[in-house]
Amino acid sequence: MAEPDSSFRLLGNSAWNAAAFLIGVGLNLLILPFVVFRLGLAAFGVAGLVTACVAPALAFSNSLALSTARELAQRLAPDERDDARRFFATALLLAAAMGGLIVMILCLAGPPLARLAFNLSGKAADDLGLAFVFGAGGWLCQCVAAVFLALFTARQDYPRIASINIISAIIATASMVVLIPRWPQASTYLGCQALGFATSLLAALALSRRVIGGWLARPALHRGPLGDLVNLGVWQLAAQAGGIIAGQADRYLLGALLQPQFVGFYTIAQRLEEAMYIGILKVGEILFPFFSTLQRESSDRKADLLFRSSWVLNVLAASALGALIPVAGPLLHLWTGAEVAAEAQRVLVVLSIAGMLGCSANVFAFYLLASGRSRSNALISFVTAVFTLATSAVALPYFGWQAAGWSACIGMMAQIVTIIILLRQSFSLVGMWSRMAHFVLLPLGTGIVTALVLRHSVNDTLSNQAPHWWYVGGLYCLAAGIIFVVVVAASRAGPHGAACWRDLRVIASRFLPVKAA
């Protein structure tokens, strides 16, 4: 993929991103059964509802971070330092001013609206005020820290970004172990998460001052940079908002229609699927600054890199997410208990399929954003949100909570159709449809079918015995390996099989101790 040096750098950045994610998500998954046991499913469900209410604010912070990183990535030369500092100062002012306003709205309007929308009363309702303060405060720390991290993202300095994320995860996890047994409330859990975000802000500030202090600036308003950030960010804001609302739709409707413990069941299943999905997203995240540097390349060159990068991530998604499907029940049983496993395993299967379908959009979203086409990303998110919300509104009242996750699958299918249409408009390439089928649809479709066949094959065996960690872990690795082999074997056929195999050899030569054959 690309030239050898460029490929190795991309793979190295992906490895750092993946390492930070694995440590962070590993700590998160390890601590979650402890949190559920200490809080109870009802309080954990309330924490999930508060998180869902704060989540739309991520649309602003994520779009600001991406817009800032894109502008800074194009101004890395020493003679462009002053221009870059003006962009940084403007972004920092937006994060602090707009972020502070959003926090005030969440803290004042969030608790009464949550009580009304989710029918909360008693002890759970009494804790909402503090829960929203911690949830919103943690988001503000995350928002401001993202501006500092954009300096490292623009330079593709992922080792430092990874170290900051690892420190944040360790602090948040340690505080949960200490504080939750003493104050078993939803607000305590959210407060520990906020402490982790505050740590990442302090670490990002300290590290940026030490390493690239000359590129920092105090918050200030500069009209030129403000216009550039807003022009790119407004459509990215719409794209982020649509994606976040689509991702939280089931939580909102479950909270409005059912008791908080069902939100807890859904949150647990979603946490596992989300962990894998975000991990894959983190591995591919390094493509955003990489694509930002390719604006002067030919259309054929960009399309070639785009589709081949997509194939690599789709193979990874099919293997990592698909392997959850055969072991969904035993994994949930071991992780959080038999009650959660009985209620949530079907939801985990459906969410895993939705996550695999959703991975088809990741690389294309990074490419569109790097090309300044945030309007296309907004369209993708809008279509996804409409189909997701419509399906949730119809399915949940009629089929009950087990229908949670169906909407995500329908939304992801609509997303794939939208992406195909946009790509057809972006590239006038011979064999466009064959590339789309081979690099995108083939690995995902093959992975989904193989995972469902494996689930059907081992379902009876797993249900007749008590699960053990070593057995479930081994079965997950075996399933991931089988899916990987089947997908790669299927991808070797066809006109693009040689390119897929060549890229796989490049990756193997980067990470394996022996040279790939």
> What residues contact 250, with CB distance under 8 A and at least 6 apart?
266, 392, 396, 404, 405, 407, 408
Give residue 9's pLDDT. 57
pLDDT at 501 exceeding the cut of 70: yes
Give residue 93's pLDDT. 93
Give residue 99's pLDDT. 92
Are 324 and 315 contacting, i.e. CB atoms less than 8 angstroms apart? no
Q: Quickly state the pLDDT bin for 205 (edges 50, 70, 90).
A: very high
Give pLDDT tens digits for 449-485: 999 999 888 776 665 566 777 888 888 899 999 999 9
Q: What is the DSSP string of 174-208?
A: HHHHHHTTTS-SHHHHHHHHHHHHHHHHHHHHHHH
Are 308 and 439 contacting, i.e. CB atoms less than 8 angstroms apart? yes
Nearest to 387 by CA among 358, 367, 362: 358
Give residue 144's pLDDT. 94
Q: Which two structure tokens, joined as six digits, stand for 288?
A: 């955003």
Give pLDDT tens digits for 174-192: 999 999 999 999 999 999 9
Give pLDDT tens digits for 259-275: 777 777 888 888 888 87
Average pLDDT value for residue range 339-363: 84
* 335/147 Cα distance (integer angstroms): 36
Give residue 449's pLDDT. 93
Q: Quickly state the pLDDT bin for 147 (edges 50, 70, 90).
A: very high
Burial class (CB in 10 A: 0-12, 13-18, 19+), 495: exposed
Residue type, 324: L
Residue 482: C-alpha distances to residues 41, 323, 446, 487 (Å): 35, 9, 11, 9
Nearest to 143 by CA among 109, 71, 217, 194: 194
Q: Quickly state the pLDDT bin for 125 (edges 50, 70, 90).
A: confident
Average pLDDT value for residue range 360-388: 77
Give residue 2's pLDDT. 46
Q: Could you identify the residue written with the tokens 């009242």?
A: 397
pLDDT at 295 exceeding the cut of 90: no
pLDDT at 118 exceeding the cut of 90: no
* Percent of the chain whose predicted confidence (pLDDT) is above 70: 86
Q: Quickly state the pLDDT bin for 1 (edges 50, 70, 90).
A: very low
Average pLDDT value for residue range 147-171: 86
Give residue 287's pLDDT. 64
pLDDT at 386 exceeding the cut of 60: yes
Average pLDDT value for residue range 51-78: 86
pLDDT at 16 exceeding the cut of 80: no
> What residues contact 382, with CB distance under 8 A and at least 6 apart?
238, 239, 242
Average pLDDT value for residue range 40-57: 87
Are 457 and 366 contacting, i.e. CB atoms less than 8 angstroms apart? no
Q: What is the pTM of this model?
A: 0.71
Nearest to 170 by CA among 27, 19, 272: 27
* 315/337 Cα distance (integer angstroms): 31
Average pLDDT value for residue range 355-364: 82
Give residue 4's pLDDT. 47
Residue 446: C-alpha distances to residues 41, 212, 247, 309, 356 (Å): 36, 46, 25, 18, 11
427: left (phi over 0), alpha (psi -120 to 50) or beta: beta
Query: What is the rounded average pLDDT for all residues in the chain?
Result: 81
CB atoms within 10 A of CB 516: 13
CB atoms within 10 A of CB 102: 19
